[in-house]
Structure 1
Amino acid sequence: MDTPAELGGFLRTRRAALRPEDVGLVSYGTRRRVPGLRREELAQLAGVSVAYYTRLEQGQSAGASDGVLNAIARALRLTPDEQAHLRNLARPARSGRPRAPRAECARPATRQLLTAMDQVPALVLDRRFEVLAWNRLGHALTAGHLSADAPGHPRERPNAQRMLFLDPHTRELYPRWETEARRAVSSLRVAAGEHPDDRRLAELIGELTMKNEVFAALWSRHPVRRCSFGTKAFHHPLVGPLELDFERARLPDSGGQALLMYSAEPGSPSEAGLRLLATGLNDAAGPGGTTGLGEPSDAPERTSLDRLGTR
């Protein structure tokens, strides 16, 4: 990732979002050639020289101090996630050259945890949002049209963000797809700032920019948010509408892997829908059924899930 260019783009979008009157400044002159704050105005607010701020925005001032970055963050009214992103871009931790793509895997103990969470849809994602493992309910909820053992094969491994933007089945799963798209781009911005040398992550972003106009437009706005919890709406092909809360928790000492879990409000129709989905999976598994963690299955030809799909 071209970190200096990303830093300049990020700062310009945040300057454009503020007007002089928003921050208590008197506007210079009567005509403004650019939207939002000018560099001179932002430098005045942050208490730095115009020349220094210009160099920073152009990526020519590496190693900016915490004091300067904090002052610029306050002037731009950045959120905590945006402040962290600014620091990552202004002082990237580089290893010298982009890292070669490396296949990751979920730890055995993590996979064991997924199996134990048989009533909770759960997935393990790496920092590039590739699905390293899922339990049976997580697979059935988010990607039932894919093979259950796909995460076990790096070349076939699903990527949550690629599926969202490029897979029509996944797009149909989310009735509020635009909301999910904004979340996805915001999360990818965070990941790109934290891992500027990750070549596979850069390739994913490049692919989505080239193949999806909505992604390209959202990416150009530099949204930054971790999106670690919230609510998602699903329209599941087997059990219908679901409104589920999600939590994405980073796993310790895992290089950025995270556990993504879904739950429904007790007593709600969504909880009933999840129970129905889980019941169908339990009936389908039987002797010799799949664990949902990428292992093969010899399921019966016609399962309870099959029967659900005919209703």
Structure 2
Amino acid sequence: MTENNTKVDAESTASAKPGISPAITGIKAFTDNYIWSIASNASNEIALVDPGDARVCIEFIEKNELQLTSILITHHHHDHVGGIKALVNYCRQQGWPLTVYGPAREKLPHCDVRLAEGDTVDLKAQGLILKVMDVPGHTAGHIAYTDGQVLFCGDTLFSGGCGRLFEGSPAQMLASLQKLAALPHHTRVYCTHEYTSANLEFALTIEPDNTELRAYREQTRQLREQDKATLPSSIGLEKAINPFLRCHQANIQENVVPEHSPGENLTLAAFTRVRQQKDNF
């Protein structure tokens, strides 16, 4: 496949902290998905996170002369797993060993290693040891991968938002987001959709006076006008601007839960209400 007939639409996002390895690149898929490629500085090996589209992954691999050795899955939705079977077959044809990691409690098209809370994934080529976190809410068995420097969180946490509750309860999603919010502030957040602009427009209806949120919306607007990715974000940024991580704040609770019962869990009540409002935004 030559460069002339291979069009790869990818965003390099390794610049959040210069000098930190490995390099992480977002491969654009569908309308707004990012498939994350985690590269090795010592070889041509890569890992892919949530490869919903095999075609764009293979184009990226062949254009850059890479070898796929690992796939990390966060949850079972088709736009995250739809390319796995084709990629498994592709690696077999190339004679490449491939290991597919995924959540223990979800039905997947192919998975070699089933993972749950506290398990680890050792990506030796990339120099990464990722801890697995159970983060149910968007789906019942959703997991995330982190080493405290990077976080691959699928559709649980978005920049300025969070995933819809397809299989979990508000209490489950809130607990999952609180686990992610407890990670170090500098942790870079690699979620899988370019939803940031729309999320921030909604967030401003919840906290219109949040100056950091307003500044971030302007920064995001400029990036998208240049067709640049808004990701990765960071845990520190999300705690400052993301209403789903800020439901413990009194101003949000007063805004969305003006009337409540004595002893009611206001953080959960506010989260539930904000999620309902976002679903209808």
Same fold by TM-score, threshold 0.5 exceeded? Answer: no
> Of the two structures, which has the highest relative contact order with CA contacts closer than 8 Å and spacing of 6 or more?
1
**Larger helix proportion of the pair:** 1
Q: Which has the larger radius of gyration?
A: 1
